[in-house]
Structure 1
Amino acid sequence: MNAVPRGRDTAPSVAVTGLGVLSPGGAGVDALWRDCERGTADFRTIEHFDVSRTGARIAGFVPADAPDAPAPGRPGRLPYLLHRATTDALADAEARTGRRGVPTVLVLGSTDSGDCPSAEAWRDWRDGRSPNAGAGWTPHSAPAWDAPVIQVGNASAAGATALGVGADLLRDGTAERVLVCGVDTVTETAYQGLASLRTLSPRGCRPFSTRRSGIRVSECAAAMVLESSSPHAYAHLRGWGGSNEASQAARPDFEGVAKAIRRALRDARTEPEELGYVNAHAAGTRHGDVAELRALEEVLGERLPRIPVVSTKAALGHCQGAAGTVEAIVTVLTLVRGEVLPTLGLEDRDPRWDHLNLGDKSPDHPPRTAMTISCGLGGSNVAVVFGREA
């Protein structure tokens, strides 16, 4: 979808009416915001599989806040996180809009295709008809969505791509309400794979730092409800764009990132000078941060130093397939609260970027339009534009 983004006359914005999140900072948007502001995430040693040969032993985990929550590595961990986030997001949307019982499509962004149940499988599981019933956590209520499930799996860009797919379903009149969720847990397969690519850092994510050396993996479930229109919206998803371009599988090229940014701005009918905030992918890799900032310079030119460019991965870690969705929630909260949080850990920022505002300087005005960027293995790049107004 949206291979060549359309203009605003045929691709109107969609309303963001509900939010739900379980992050390493805790449950809810206030815990997420507090973590991004103060760095309170639950980072601890991985214990459910052997990490002795990976060079990195720490990951971010959603803190246990319910007695029935499966522990990391236990059956049902991912469905539990998915169920909690989507239920909270839909309840939020229903409370804000007063619209209940609306057929809801789930668009799921995840790198884990084996542990994401369909609506039918989930109901079978809940009602004891599934062969896996009793093997782990069983939901106590129906899933928040009761319509088709679409799964997106383009690595770390999955959560952002899911937002674009959801927006297009609404624009085309295919769906009345879309529930987008990015979700991933810390699994041995993904962790060992990232270790083999030498992308893990024992020091964690240090975006824009001279000592950046890779990522720290985290689990997360982040959900956003999208609707065609609503007077009760948090903000509006104005447009999105993507590209699939890289010369090396494990690092983005600036040309590919720049294409995604340009396409998103065009789809949103937004000029570069309108942007007041960028939530960068900025995972703290040696080459990725450089490529992304170069792409922003390519598109935004002399305006870039006046726009806060922030990475939340220093606080949250890299939430894998959920990264694009949870960072989109931070972007929406930035517009709603009118406050720009800094990139944490800038004590040793790379001097090449001393001229940029990495969230360490308050903007002249609260941002009204913002962009979030996600980059995935294999050259998948996605940018999503949000605005306070449609």
Structure 2
Amino acid sequence: MTRDGQAAAGAGVAVTGVGVLTPAGRGIAPLWRTLSAGGARPLPIEHFDTAQAGTGLAHFVPHEPGLPGPGHPERMSALATAAVTDALADAGARGEGTALILATTDETGAEVSGRWDGWQTGGTTPRGVPLEERVAAACGLTGQVITVATTSAAGCVALGVARRMITSGRVRRVVVCGVDVITEAGFYGLAALRTLSPHGCRPFSADRSGIRISEAAAALVIEPDTPEGGRARGRLEGVAANNLAAQPARPEAEGVAAAVRGALRQAGRRPAEVDYVNAHAAGTRHGDAAELTALWEVFGDRLLRDLPVVSSKAAIGHCQGAAGVVEAVVSLATLERGEVLPTLGLDSVDPAWREHNLGGRRPGRPPEVAVSVSCGLGGVNAAVVLGADRTGPDSAGARREVAAHVS
């Protein structure tokens, strides 16, 4: 992936499998229900002291048998392993020769917090096997293993790396897995930046004041084109990323617009072809404004008419380094189901955007092309273009879910 996203325009890259664990539960069906109404319920953080942060709530993946609890050193690897396993099963794929790209804000796999705890108690925490290698081994993946740790944009950037690997012809299959858990180091890092809000994520709202962090794991299986006679969840058409920002703690419209234009250019798409935008929109004062300014620069007054701009974070919180992959899953589900869900909790829309289509007005036809945007600390801006797959035998109907996790 180049700086402006120019690489192999029009090359066929398919998403053939999905696995996702969010605060809504395990699978796409519970995620869709939570995005449709109500949102996930935040819970108190109990595995470390939050008294100095101004808020003590976060969103957690619901417990299931065998899943280590919050604060357990193996929770992160367990969530990632579950997501990758489900994605491979959904694709009907095996791990031999399959590469893994792990996207996260914590490339140590929560080891930083473990070492901090060890230091506080006078002990030590020895360095173990790296997170990405543990996940690859657990899932039987024998291909190349890479970690992308570009903060909240990690998932989106990792999809660009995967697309580049596939279009190079050197790799037959890649699994991109975004994962993060709630750690003391990460939580207080965001608190120090005054990013956390006791009220949670309120994207596009007049009273937005910051984010509520969430844990999640989501995985996508990426392969060349759609297998003959097979099916795909969708198509990974283009990805672009840059570091165009005036300061590292907040995005700028110029950088976001450049990422969206670069992704569209790589996909060979015009702005007029886009039917749906999943915005980064975490509910920060500056970030939401910069992003909608950027989208106006790219799409113009379509934002007032037939182009819905939606944020998933209102329903499930900010999934940190997993957000880009989780929101790609949401975008793919939107294309598959032909339905656009509105942003939740828009009782008090910022007056500047009251005329914008924030998902309340549906497009005139089922969406075929989606753009998902991610921004991260360090000034990273990224965008991915996803297309509906209409070539498989069951593309017109509901796809199968990973059997045990959709109810």
Normalization by structure 1: what TM-score? 0.90
Letter in 2 for 1:54: A
Larger displacement relative to structure 2 (298-307 or 277-286): 298-307
Q: CA deviation at 1:78?
A: 0.2
Map of 1:239 onto structure 2: 238
Post-superposition Cα deviations, 1:282-309, rounded to whole Å, max 9, x if no partner, equal: 0000000000000000111122222000
1:111 aligns with 2:110: no
Q: For 2:39 and 2:239, locate their aligned partners in 1 and report how far apart those are by CA, in whole Å.
A: 31
Letter in 2 for 1:5: G
Structure 1 pair 348–110 and aligned structure 2 pair: CA distance change class (3 A)? same
The answer as to whether partners of 1:13 and 1:239 remain within 8 angstroms in 2 is no
Map of 1:356 onto structure 2: 356
Map of 1:91 onto structure 2: 89
Q: For 2:158 and 2:110, locate their aligned partners in 1 and report how far apart those are by CA, in whole Å.
A: 15
Q: Which of 193, 215, 227 is residue 211 of structure 2 equivalent to?
A: 215
Larger displacement relative to structure 2 (351-360 or 261-270): 351-360
Letter in 1 for 2:4: V
Q: For 2:320 and 2:160, locate their aligned partners in 1 and report how far apart those are by CA, in whole Å.
A: 17
1:155 aligns with 2:151: yes
Q: CA deviation at 1:163?
A: 0.7
The answer as to whether partners of 2:59 and 2:213 remain within 8 angstroms in 1 is yes
Q: CA deviation at 1:342?
A: 0.7
Structure 1 pair 228–329 and aligned structure 2 pair: CA distance change class (3 A)? same
1:293 aligns with 2:292: yes
Q: For 2:24 and 2:30, locate their aligned partners in 1 and report how far apart those are by CA, in whole Å.
A: 6
Map of 2:376 onto structure 1: 376
Letter in 1 for 2:21: L
Structure 1 pair 389–30 and aligned structure 2 pair: CA distance change class (3 A)? closer
Q: For 2:332 and 2:186, locate their aligned partners in 1 and report how far apart those are by CA, in whole Å.
A: 29
Structure 1 pair 144–373 and aligned structure 2 pair: CA distance change class (3 A)? farther
Structure 1 pair 116–85 and aligned structure 2 pair: CA distance change class (3 A)? farther
Letter in 1 for 2:103: G
Post-superposition Cα deviations, 1:237-263, rounded to whole Å, max 9, x if no partner, equal: 110111101112211000000100110
Q: Which of 170, 173, 176 is residue 174 of structure 1 equivalent to?
A: 170
The answer as to whether partners of 1:145 and 1:179 remain within 8 angstroms in 2 is no
Map of 1:344 onto structure 2: 344
Map of 1:165 onto structure 2: 161
Structure 1 pair 101–318 and aligned structure 2 pair: CA distance change class (3 A)? closer
The answer as to whether partners of 1:79 and 1:116 remain within 8 angstroms in 2 is no
Post-superposition Cα deviations, 1:165-209, rounded to whole Å, max 9, x if no partner, equal: 111100001210000000000000010000000000000000000
Q: CA deviation at 1:100?
A: 4.0
Q: Which of 132, 135, 141 is residue 145 of structure 1 equivalent to?
A: 141
Post-superposition Cα deviations, 1:75-129, rounded to whole Å, max 9, x if no partner, equal: 20000001000000001001xxxx5455110011001111289xxxxxxxxxxxx
The answer as to whether partners of 1:208 and 1:289 remain within 8 angstroms in 2 is yes
1:47 aligns with 2:22: no
Q: For 1:387 and 1:331, locate their aligned partners in 2 and report how far apart those are by CA, in whole Å.
A: 9
Map of 1:20 onto structure 2: 19
The answer as to whether partners of 2:95 and 2:142 remain within 8 angstroms in 1 is no
Q: For 2:181 and 2:128, locate their aligned partners in 1 and report how far apart those are by CA, in whole Å.
A: 19
The answer as to whether partners of 2:95 and 2:141 remain within 8 angstroms in 1 is no
Letter in 1 for 2:383: A
Q: For 1:214 and 1:115, locate their aligned partners in 2 and report how far apart those are by CA, in whole Å.
A: 25
Q: CA deviation at 1:338?
A: 0.2
Question: How many pairs were matched up?
Answer: 367
1:333 aligns with 2:329: no
Q: For 2:220 and 2:95, locate their aligned partners in 1 and report how far apart those are by CA, in whole Å.
A: 17
Q: For 1:367 and 1:254, locate their aligned partners in 2 and report how far apart those are by CA, in whole Å.
A: 25
Map of 1:315 onto structure 2: 315
- The 5 Å alignment of 1:124-139 reads none
Letter in 1 for 2:163: A
Q: For 2:388 and 2:11, locate their aligned partners in 1 and report how far apart those are by CA, in whole Å.
A: 14
Map of 1:366 onto structure 2: 366
Map of 2:251 onto structure 1: 252
CA RMSD of aligned residues (A): 1.9
Q: For 2:252 and 2:31, locate their aligned partners in 1 and report how far apart those are by CA, in whole Å.
A: 30
Identity percentage of aligned residues: 53
Structure 1 pair 40–212 and aligned structure 2 pair: CA distance change class (3 A)? closer
Q: Secondary structure of 2:293's partner?
A: helix
Q: For 2:389 and 2:40, locate their aligned partners in 1 and report how far apart those are by CA, in whole Å.
A: 32
Letter in 2 for 1:156: S
Map of 1:126 onto structure 2: none
Q: For 2:218 and 2:36, locate their aligned partners in 1 and report how far apart those are by CA, in whole Å.
A: 18
Q: CA deviation at 1:320?
A: 0.2
Q: For 1:100 and 1:375, locate their aligned partners in 2 and report how far apart those are by CA, in whole Å.
A: 32
Q: Secondary structure of 1:346's partner?
A: coil
Q: CA deviation at 1:42?
A: 4.0
The answer as to whether partners of 2:83 and 2:219 remain within 8 angstroms in 1 is yes
Q: For 1:388 and 1:40, locate their aligned partners in 2 and report how far apart those are by CA, in whole Å.
A: 26
Q: CA deviation at 1:34?
A: 1.1
Normalization by structure 2: what TM-score? 0.87
Q: For 1:206 and 1:268, locate their aligned partners in 2 and report how far apart those are by CA, in whole Å.
A: 31
Map of 1:120 onto structure 2: none
1:184 aligns with 2:180: yes
The answer as to whether partners of 2:39 and 2:344 remain within 8 angstroms in 1 is no
Q: Tell me, which stretches of 5 or more residues in structure 2 are unaligned?
A: 112-125, 391-407
Q: Secondary structure of 1:293's partner?
A: helix
Map of 2:273 onto structure 1: 274
Q: Secondary structure of 1:375's partner?
A: strand
Q: CA deviation at 1:389?
A: 4.5
The answer as to whether partners of 2:203 and 2:282 remain within 8 angstroms in 1 is yes
